[in-house]
Amino acid sequence: MDIRGVWARARELWNTGPWATDIGVALLVQAAVSMPWVVPRDPGLEPATATAYLLTTLTVVPLVWRRRAPVRVLLAVFAAQALYGLAVDGPGQTLPYTGLVALYTVAALSPSPGRQVLGALTLAVVFPSTAFNTGEARELVFSLIVFAAAYAFGRFTHTRQAYTRAVEDRARQLELTHRIEAERAAARERARIAREMHDILSHAVSLMIVQAEAGPVAVRTAPERAEAAFEAISETGRDAMVQLRRMLGVLREREADPESPREPQPALAALPGLVERVRGSGLEVSFEVMGPARPLALDTEVAVHRIVQEALTNVVRHAAARTVSVRLVHGPAELVVRIVDDGRGPGTGTGAGLGLVGIAERAAAHGGTARTGPGPDGRGFRVEVTLPLVTSRVEVGS
Protein backbone atom coordinates (compact mmCIF):
# COMPACT_ATOMS: atom_id res chain seq x y z
CA MET A 1 0.00 0.00 0.00
CA ASP A 2 1.47 3.38 -1.00
CA ILE A 3 1.58 6.50 1.14
CA ARG A 4 -1.61 7.85 -0.43
CA GLY A 5 -3.51 4.72 0.55
CA VAL A 6 -2.20 4.90 4.10
CA TRP A 7 -3.19 8.57 4.33
CA ALA A 8 -6.68 7.86 2.92
CA ARG A 9 -7.15 5.00 5.41
CA ALA A 10 -6.05 7.26 8.27
CA ARG A 11 -8.51 9.95 7.22
CA GLU A 12 -11.28 7.35 6.97
CA LEU A 13 -10.58 6.12 10.50
CA TRP A 14 -10.47 9.67 11.77
CA ASN A 15 -13.87 10.49 10.25
CA THR A 16 -15.59 7.34 11.56
CA GLY A 17 -15.73 8.62 15.14
CA PRO A 18 -14.82 11.39 17.55
CA TRP A 19 -11.14 10.52 17.49
CA ALA A 20 -9.91 14.05 18.15
CA THR A 21 -11.92 14.41 21.36
CA ASP A 22 -10.96 10.99 22.68
CA ILE A 23 -7.29 11.50 21.91
CA GLY A 24 -7.45 14.89 23.61
CA VAL A 25 -9.04 13.36 26.72
CA ALA A 26 -6.38 10.63 26.77
CA LEU A 27 -3.58 13.21 26.51
CA LEU A 28 -5.13 15.27 29.30
CA VAL A 29 -5.34 12.21 31.55
CA GLN A 30 -1.78 11.28 30.60
CA ALA A 31 -0.64 14.74 31.69
CA ALA A 32 -2.44 14.32 35.02
CA VAL A 33 -0.96 10.88 35.78
CA SER A 34 2.52 12.13 34.79
CA MET A 35 2.67 14.63 37.64
CA PRO A 36 4.42 12.24 40.12
CA TRP A 37 7.24 11.88 37.57
CA VAL A 38 7.55 15.64 37.01
CA VAL A 39 7.19 17.12 40.48
CA PRO A 40 10.23 16.55 42.74
CA ARG A 41 9.60 13.75 45.22
CA ASP A 42 10.57 13.11 48.81
CA PRO A 43 13.52 10.72 48.94
CA GLY A 44 11.59 8.54 51.36
CA LEU A 45 8.81 7.79 48.79
CA GLU A 46 8.83 5.13 46.11
CA PRO A 47 11.10 5.95 43.19
CA ALA A 48 9.44 7.16 39.96
CA THR A 49 11.02 4.75 37.50
CA ALA A 50 10.61 4.60 33.73
CA THR A 51 9.05 1.12 34.00
CA ALA A 52 6.39 2.45 36.37
CA TYR A 53 5.72 5.34 34.01
CA LEU A 54 5.28 3.00 31.02
CA LEU A 55 2.82 0.85 32.98
CA THR A 56 0.96 4.02 34.01
CA THR A 57 0.77 5.05 30.36
CA LEU A 58 -0.61 1.58 29.59
CA THR A 59 -3.64 2.37 31.77
CA VAL A 60 -4.30 5.55 29.76
CA VAL A 61 -3.99 4.26 26.18
CA PRO A 62 -7.37 2.38 26.16
CA LEU A 63 -9.19 5.70 26.69
CA VAL A 64 -8.64 6.49 23.00
CA TRP A 65 -11.31 3.84 22.22
CA ARG A 66 -13.59 4.68 25.15
CA ARG A 67 -16.63 5.71 23.07
CA ARG A 68 -16.36 2.88 20.58
CA ALA A 69 -15.98 0.10 23.20
CA PRO A 70 -16.72 1.58 26.64
CA VAL A 71 -17.15 -1.76 28.44
CA ARG A 72 -13.92 -3.28 27.10
CA VAL A 73 -12.04 -0.05 27.81
CA LEU A 74 -13.19 -0.08 31.45
CA LEU A 75 -12.10 -3.71 31.85
CA ALA A 76 -8.76 -2.98 30.14
CA VAL A 77 -8.16 -0.03 32.48
CA PHE A 78 -8.84 -2.20 35.54
CA ALA A 79 -6.52 -4.90 34.21
CA ALA A 80 -3.72 -2.38 33.52
CA GLN A 81 -4.10 -0.83 36.98
CA ALA A 82 -3.98 -4.28 38.60
CA LEU A 83 -0.83 -5.05 36.61
CA TYR A 84 0.72 -1.78 37.76
CA GLY A 85 -0.04 -2.50 41.42
CA LEU A 86 1.33 -6.06 41.25
CA ALA A 87 4.35 -5.56 39.00
CA VAL A 88 5.94 -2.39 40.34
CA ASP A 89 6.10 -0.44 43.55
CA GLY A 90 5.82 2.95 41.89
CA PRO A 91 4.26 6.25 42.97
CA GLY A 92 0.52 6.42 43.46
CA GLN A 93 -1.99 8.91 42.07
CA THR A 94 -4.02 11.60 43.78
CA LEU A 95 -7.15 10.41 41.90
CA PRO A 96 -7.90 7.27 39.84
CA TYR A 97 -8.19 9.37 36.68
CA THR A 98 -8.37 6.58 34.10
CA GLY A 99 -10.92 4.56 36.05
CA LEU A 100 -13.14 7.62 36.58
CA VAL A 101 -13.13 8.53 32.87
CA ALA A 102 -13.82 4.94 31.83
CA LEU A 103 -16.68 4.54 34.32
CA TYR A 104 -18.18 7.89 33.25
CA THR A 105 -18.15 6.72 29.61
CA VAL A 106 -19.83 3.42 30.48
CA ALA A 107 -22.57 5.24 32.42
CA ALA A 108 -23.14 7.67 29.53
CA LEU A 109 -23.06 5.25 26.58
CA SER A 110 -23.60 1.65 27.63
CA PRO A 111 -27.10 0.12 27.58
CA SER A 112 -28.83 -1.42 30.57
CA PRO A 113 -28.46 -3.89 32.35
CA GLY A 114 -24.73 -4.16 31.56
CA ARG A 115 -24.26 -0.59 32.71
CA GLN A 116 -25.60 -1.31 36.22
CA VAL A 117 -23.55 -4.51 36.49
CA LEU A 118 -20.32 -2.70 35.63
CA GLY A 119 -21.16 0.15 37.98
CA ALA A 120 -21.70 -2.26 40.86
CA LEU A 121 -18.55 -4.19 39.90
CA THR A 122 -16.52 -0.98 39.95
CA LEU A 123 -17.74 -0.07 43.42
CA ALA A 124 -17.00 -3.62 44.58
CA VAL A 125 -13.44 -3.39 43.26
CA VAL A 126 -12.89 -0.26 45.37
CA PHE A 127 -12.89 -2.31 48.59
CA PRO A 128 -10.00 -4.70 47.80
CA SER A 129 -8.11 -1.92 46.02
CA THR A 130 -8.29 0.31 49.10
CA ALA A 131 -7.33 -2.56 51.36
CA PHE A 132 -4.31 -3.33 49.17
CA ASN A 133 -3.27 0.35 49.12
CA THR A 134 -3.66 1.98 52.57
CA GLY A 135 -6.58 0.20 54.14
CA GLU A 136 -7.87 3.46 55.61
CA ALA A 137 -11.60 4.14 55.89
CA ARG A 138 -11.05 7.69 54.69
CA GLU A 139 -9.61 6.47 51.40
CA LEU A 140 -12.45 3.96 51.04
CA VAL A 141 -15.16 6.58 51.52
CA PHE A 142 -13.41 9.03 49.22
CA SER A 143 -13.02 6.41 46.46
CA LEU A 144 -16.66 5.35 46.73
CA ILE A 145 -17.80 8.98 46.49
CA VAL A 146 -15.70 9.88 43.44
CA PHE A 147 -16.63 6.72 41.51
CA ALA A 148 -20.33 7.18 42.35
CA ALA A 149 -20.05 10.81 41.20
CA ALA A 150 -18.44 9.71 37.90
CA TYR A 151 -21.29 7.26 37.32
CA ALA A 152 -23.91 9.93 38.19
CA PHE A 153 -22.33 12.47 35.82
CA GLY A 154 -22.35 9.86 33.07
CA ARG A 155 -26.06 9.22 33.57
CA PHE A 156 -26.71 12.97 33.58
CA THR A 157 -24.87 13.31 30.27
CA HIS A 158 -26.91 10.44 28.81
CA THR A 159 -30.18 12.10 29.89
CA ARG A 160 -29.13 15.47 28.51
CA GLN A 161 -28.13 13.98 25.16
CA ALA A 162 -31.38 12.04 24.94
CA TYR A 163 -33.33 15.22 25.64
CA THR A 164 -31.34 17.11 23.00
CA ARG A 165 -32.02 14.38 20.44
CA ALA A 166 -35.73 14.44 21.30
CA VAL A 167 -35.85 18.22 20.84
CA GLU A 168 -34.01 17.97 17.52
CA ASP A 169 -36.32 15.19 16.33
CA ARG A 170 -39.34 17.27 17.29
CA ALA A 171 -37.92 20.26 15.44
CA ARG A 172 -37.39 18.10 12.35
CA GLN A 173 -40.92 16.74 12.62
CA LEU A 174 -42.32 20.27 12.93
CA GLU A 175 -40.29 21.39 9.93
CA LEU A 176 -41.55 18.41 7.94
CA THR A 177 -45.13 19.14 9.02
CA HIS A 178 -44.80 22.79 8.03
CA ARG A 179 -43.35 21.77 4.66
CA ILE A 180 -46.22 19.35 4.05
CA GLU A 181 -48.77 21.99 5.04
CA ALA A 182 -47.10 24.50 2.72
CA GLU A 183 -47.22 21.99 -0.14
CA ARG A 184 -50.89 21.29 0.56
CA ALA A 185 -51.65 25.01 0.65
CA ALA A 186 -49.81 25.45 -2.65
CA ALA A 187 -51.79 22.55 -4.16
CA ARG A 188 -55.07 24.09 -2.97
CA GLU A 189 -54.04 27.44 -4.41
CA ARG A 190 -53.15 25.83 -7.76
CA ALA A 191 -56.52 24.08 -7.80
CA ARG A 192 -58.30 27.36 -7.06
CA ILE A 193 -56.38 29.16 -9.81
CA ALA A 194 -57.16 26.34 -12.23
CA ARG A 195 -60.87 26.66 -11.45
CA GLU A 196 -60.74 30.43 -11.93
CA MET A 197 -58.91 30.10 -15.24
CA HIS A 198 -61.35 27.45 -16.40
CA ASP A 199 -64.36 29.56 -15.47
CA ILE A 200 -63.02 32.68 -17.18
CA LEU A 201 -61.80 31.05 -20.37
CA SER A 202 -64.59 28.53 -20.90
CA HIS A 203 -67.27 31.17 -20.34
CA ALA A 204 -65.68 33.75 -22.62
CA VAL A 205 -64.71 31.33 -25.38
CA SER A 206 -68.13 29.66 -25.38
CA LEU A 207 -69.89 33.00 -25.82
CA MET A 208 -67.47 34.03 -28.55
CA ILE A 209 -67.95 30.75 -30.44
CA VAL A 210 -71.74 30.98 -30.32
CA GLN A 211 -71.71 34.60 -31.45
CA ALA A 212 -69.14 33.93 -34.17
CA GLU A 213 -71.19 31.02 -35.55
CA ALA A 214 -74.29 33.17 -35.66
CA GLY A 215 -72.40 36.08 -37.28
CA PRO A 216 -72.32 34.86 -40.92
CA VAL A 217 -76.03 34.06 -40.88
CA ALA A 218 -76.83 37.44 -39.36
CA VAL A 219 -74.71 39.23 -42.00
CA ARG A 220 -76.97 37.90 -44.74
CA THR A 221 -80.30 38.26 -42.98
CA ALA A 222 -79.96 41.00 -40.35
CA PRO A 223 -76.80 43.10 -40.63
CA GLU A 224 -77.64 45.02 -37.47
CA ARG A 225 -77.66 41.78 -35.48
CA ALA A 226 -74.32 40.82 -37.01
CA GLU A 227 -72.83 44.11 -35.91
CA ALA A 228 -74.14 43.53 -32.38
CA ALA A 229 -72.75 39.98 -32.39
CA PHE A 230 -69.30 41.16 -33.42
CA GLU A 231 -69.39 43.88 -30.78
CA ALA A 232 -70.38 41.26 -28.20
CA ILE A 233 -67.46 39.06 -29.32
CA SER A 234 -65.09 41.98 -28.93
CA GLU A 235 -66.49 42.92 -25.51
CA THR A 236 -66.36 39.34 -24.26
CA GLY A 237 -62.76 38.95 -25.43
CA ARG A 238 -61.70 42.19 -23.80
CA ASP A 239 -63.41 41.24 -20.54
CA ALA A 240 -61.68 37.85 -20.53
CA MET A 241 -58.32 39.49 -21.19
CA VAL A 242 -58.87 41.97 -18.35
CA GLN A 243 -59.73 39.18 -15.92
CA LEU A 244 -56.76 37.05 -17.01
CA ARG A 245 -54.37 40.00 -16.73
CA ARG A 246 -55.75 40.74 -13.29
CA MET A 247 -55.28 37.15 -12.15
CA LEU A 248 -51.78 36.84 -13.60
CA GLY A 249 -50.87 40.21 -12.14
CA VAL A 250 -51.99 39.08 -8.71
CA LEU A 251 -49.88 35.94 -9.08
CA ARG A 252 -46.80 37.94 -10.04
CA GLU A 253 -47.35 40.41 -7.20
CA ARG A 254 -47.82 37.66 -4.64
CA GLU A 255 -44.68 35.89 -5.86
CA ALA A 256 -42.65 39.10 -5.51
CA ASP A 257 -44.44 40.30 -2.36
CA PRO A 258 -46.70 37.80 -0.57
CA GLU A 259 -48.23 40.65 1.46
CA SER A 260 -49.33 42.64 -1.60
CA PRO A 261 -53.09 43.30 -1.80
CA ARG A 262 -55.32 41.36 -4.20
CA GLU A 263 -57.63 42.74 -6.82
CA PRO A 264 -61.33 42.44 -5.94
CA GLN A 265 -63.03 39.21 -7.01
CA PRO A 266 -66.35 39.16 -8.87
CA ALA A 267 -69.31 39.25 -6.48
CA LEU A 268 -73.12 39.21 -6.56
CA ALA A 269 -73.20 42.77 -7.88
CA ALA A 270 -71.51 41.54 -11.07
CA LEU A 271 -74.21 38.95 -11.85
CA PRO A 272 -76.43 41.31 -13.90
CA GLY A 273 -73.48 42.15 -16.15
CA LEU A 274 -72.73 38.43 -16.54
CA VAL A 275 -76.35 37.74 -17.50
CA GLU A 276 -76.30 40.61 -19.97
CA ARG A 277 -73.22 39.25 -21.71
CA VAL A 278 -74.86 35.84 -22.07
CA ARG A 279 -77.94 37.50 -23.54
CA GLY A 280 -75.66 38.89 -26.23
CA SER A 281 -75.18 35.36 -27.52
CA GLY A 282 -78.88 35.17 -28.42
CA LEU A 283 -79.95 33.16 -25.39
CA GLU A 284 -82.95 34.47 -23.45
CA VAL A 285 -81.77 34.77 -19.85
CA SER A 286 -83.91 35.83 -16.93
CA PHE A 287 -82.44 36.85 -13.60
CA GLU A 288 -84.42 37.02 -10.36
CA VAL A 289 -83.56 37.57 -6.70
CA MET A 290 -86.07 36.38 -4.12
CA GLY A 291 -86.16 37.02 -0.39
CA PRO A 292 -84.53 39.76 1.64
CA ALA A 293 -80.90 39.95 0.55
CA ARG A 294 -78.29 40.18 3.27
CA PRO A 295 -74.55 40.92 3.02
CA LEU A 296 -72.60 37.71 2.47
CA ALA A 297 -68.99 36.79 3.07
CA LEU A 298 -66.84 37.76 0.11
CA ASP A 299 -65.72 34.22 -0.65
CA THR A 300 -69.37 33.11 -0.71
CA GLU A 301 -70.24 35.86 -3.20
CA VAL A 302 -67.30 34.82 -5.40
CA ALA A 303 -68.45 31.20 -5.26
CA VAL A 304 -72.02 32.15 -6.26
CA HIS A 305 -70.75 34.22 -9.18
CA ARG A 306 -68.51 31.41 -10.43
CA ILE A 307 -71.26 28.80 -10.04
CA VAL A 308 -73.69 30.88 -12.11
CA GLN A 309 -70.96 31.58 -14.66
CA GLU A 310 -70.09 27.90 -15.04
CA ALA A 311 -73.76 26.84 -15.28
CA LEU A 312 -74.48 29.43 -17.98
CA THR A 313 -71.33 28.40 -19.85
CA ASN A 314 -72.54 24.79 -19.88
CA VAL A 315 -75.93 25.94 -21.18
CA VAL A 316 -74.31 27.91 -24.00
CA ARG A 317 -71.91 25.13 -24.97
CA HIS A 318 -73.94 21.96 -24.51
CA ALA A 319 -77.67 22.50 -23.96
CA ALA A 320 -78.85 23.96 -27.29
CA ALA A 321 -81.38 25.84 -25.15
CA ARG A 322 -83.51 28.86 -26.04
CA THR A 323 -84.19 30.13 -22.53
CA VAL A 324 -82.53 29.85 -19.15
CA SER A 325 -83.52 31.27 -15.78
CA VAL A 326 -81.17 32.26 -12.97
CA ARG A 327 -82.75 32.60 -9.54
CA LEU A 328 -81.22 33.45 -6.17
CA VAL A 329 -83.41 32.63 -3.17
CA HIS A 330 -82.34 34.15 0.15
CA GLY A 331 -83.72 32.04 2.98
CA PRO A 332 -83.41 32.50 6.73
CA ALA A 333 -80.40 30.15 6.96
CA GLU A 334 -79.33 29.38 3.41
CA LEU A 335 -78.92 30.75 -0.07
CA VAL A 336 -80.27 28.70 -2.97
CA VAL A 337 -78.86 29.25 -6.46
CA ARG A 338 -81.03 27.70 -9.18
CA ILE A 339 -80.26 27.68 -12.93
CA VAL A 340 -82.82 25.97 -15.20
CA ASP A 341 -82.78 25.75 -19.01
CA ASP A 342 -85.08 24.24 -21.65
CA GLY A 343 -82.33 22.51 -23.61
CA ARG A 344 -81.55 18.92 -24.44
CA GLY A 345 -81.24 17.81 -20.84
CA PRO A 346 -78.54 15.77 -19.08
CA GLY A 347 -76.36 13.20 -20.75
CA THR A 348 -76.49 14.67 -24.26
CA GLY A 349 -73.64 17.14 -24.18
CA THR A 350 -69.93 16.39 -24.22
CA GLY A 351 -67.43 18.10 -21.97
CA ALA A 352 -69.81 19.43 -19.33
CA GLY A 353 -68.65 16.95 -16.69
CA LEU A 354 -65.68 18.98 -15.49
CA GLY A 355 -67.81 22.08 -15.12
CA LEU A 356 -70.35 20.24 -12.97
CA VAL A 357 -67.54 18.79 -10.88
CA GLY A 358 -66.21 22.30 -10.35
CA ILE A 359 -69.66 23.50 -9.25
CA ALA A 360 -69.93 20.63 -6.76
CA GLU A 361 -66.43 21.35 -5.42
CA ARG A 362 -67.18 25.03 -4.90
CA ALA A 363 -70.39 24.19 -3.07
CA ALA A 364 -68.68 21.62 -0.86
CA ALA A 365 -65.85 24.05 -0.08
CA HIS A 366 -68.43 26.39 1.48
CA GLY A 367 -70.30 23.69 3.37
CA GLY A 368 -73.10 23.46 0.81
CA THR A 369 -74.53 20.94 -1.62
CA ALA A 370 -75.06 20.82 -5.37
CA ARG A 371 -77.81 18.89 -7.13
CA THR A 372 -78.16 18.49 -10.89
CA GLY A 373 -80.68 16.73 -13.06
CA PRO A 374 -83.61 17.18 -15.40
CA GLY A 375 -85.63 20.37 -15.21
CA PRO A 376 -89.37 20.65 -14.49
CA ASP A 377 -91.47 18.00 -16.23
CA GLY A 378 -88.30 16.20 -17.25
CA ARG A 379 -87.34 18.88 -19.76
CA GLY A 380 -84.06 20.74 -19.91
CA PHE A 381 -81.49 20.73 -17.16
CA ARG A 382 -81.39 22.07 -13.62
CA VAL A 383 -78.48 23.07 -11.40
CA GLU A 384 -79.39 23.83 -7.79
CA VAL A 385 -76.80 24.80 -5.20
CA THR A 386 -77.58 25.36 -1.53
CA LEU A 387 -75.07 27.31 0.56
CA PRO A 388 -75.23 28.00 4.31
CA LEU A 389 -76.01 31.65 4.89
CA VAL A 390 -72.75 32.94 6.39
CA THR A 391 -73.02 36.68 6.66
CA SER A 392 -70.21 39.12 6.18
CA ARG A 393 -68.06 40.29 9.06
CA VAL A 394 -69.68 43.71 8.88
CA GLU A 395 -73.10 42.30 9.60
CA VAL A 396 -71.91 39.85 12.23
CA GLY A 397 -70.13 42.58 14.15
CA SER A 398 -73.14 44.94 14.13
Q: How do the pLDDT tens digits run along the chain, 398 residues long?
A: 466 666 666 566 555 557 778 888 888 888 888 887 777 766 666 667 788 888 888 888 888 888 888 888 888 888 888 887 777 776 777 778 888 888 888 888 888 887 778 888 888 877 877 776 767 788 788 878 888 888 888 889 888 988 988 998 888 888 888 788 877 766 776 676 667 666 666 666 666 676 666 666 666 666 666 666 666 776 767 666 666 666 665 555 555 545 444 445 677 888 888 888 888 777 889 999 998 887 787 778 888 888 898 888 888 888 888 899 999 999 888 999 999 998 887 654 444 556 788 788 888 888 899 999 888 878 889 999 999 876 544 333 33
Structure confidence at residue 215 (pLDDT): 63
Structure confidence at residue 353 (pLDDT): 56
Indicate the angle between helix axes 298-314 and 137-221, nearest 10 degrees. Answer: 40
Which of 370, 269, 268 minimizes the C-alpha distance to 311? 370
Structure confidence at residue 326 (pLDDT): 94
Torsion of the alpha carbons at 373, 378, 379 and 384, rounded to the nearest 10: -30
Neighbours of 91 (CB within 10 A): 19
Burial 266-281 (b: 16+ CB within 10 A, else e): bebebbeebbebbebb
Report pTM: 0.45
CATH number of 271-398: 3.30.565.10
Structure confidence at residue 245 (pLDDT): 64
Structure confidence at residue 287 (pLDDT): 93
Domain ranges of the chain: 3-135, 271-398
Structure confidence at residue 347 (pLDDT): 56
Structure confidence at residue 382 (pLDDT): 92
Structure confidence at residue 395 (pLDDT): 39
CB 376 within 8 A of CB 340: yes
> Residue 371: phi, psi to the nearest 5?
-125, 135
Q: Is 394 helix (H, G, I), strand (E, B) or coil?
A: helix
DSSP string, 124-158: HHHHHHHHHHT--HHHHHHHHHHHHHHHHHHHHHH
